[in-house]
A = this chain, B = another copy of it.
Amino acid sequence: MTREDAPKTKPCFTPIGIIRTPYKDWAPYQPVERDPGREIFRLVLSHEFAGGLRDLDRFEYVYVLHFLDRVETTPSMTVSPPWAKGTTVGLFATRSPVRPNPIGLSVVRILRIKENEVITSPLDVFDETPLLDLKPYFKTLDAKADANDGWVEDLEDRTHLLEHLRGIPHHHEH
């Protein structure tokens, strides 16, 4: 084994809670930003971790890391995102849930914290998805003003496709 081989150890994690969403059998590709007006998206931490939520409500956004436990497909190194009309790209150039390590990452708005629960803007995960970690989204570290949308910017129908990427419901003309 050379030094540049992947390590052989298999890190194992223990969920710190579960995510409650209305999605039982279907989930959007990415979070829908519109607030449904009810407290239905909740990060429910095990009580032993509730103390760790202190001061998190001073942030506008939080990173939610979760275990994509419903994914059973074997990952392919190339992907054709369902909304990208036949475009094929490398897996690590997508946010596809079918990955070698099924760790999901969502950025959502923090609405309120109640004891061991964080009420958030809509999340793109199935109900009862295991929660692995929460990290505060710092404007200084994470809001990259000069970011881009990668290969999606090269597509003809870019504006429309970015609505799909964001999970925004919209009208299709036929």
Contact = CB atoms under 8 A, between A and B. Distances in A.
Interface of A: 3-7, 9-18, 20, 30, 44-46, 49-56, 58-63, 65, 67, 69, 77-78, 89-95, 99-103, 105, 107, 128, 130-154, 162, 165-166
Contact of A51 (B5, B61, B90, B147): B90
Q: How many copies does the complex hold?
A: 2
A145 B100 CA distance: 31
B100 A14 contact: yes
Residue from A5, A90, A137, A153 with most neighbouring chain B CB atoms (10 Å): A90
Contacts of A151: 55, 58-59
Give 3 nearest A-B pairs by CB, closest first: A54-B90, A51-B77, A52-B91
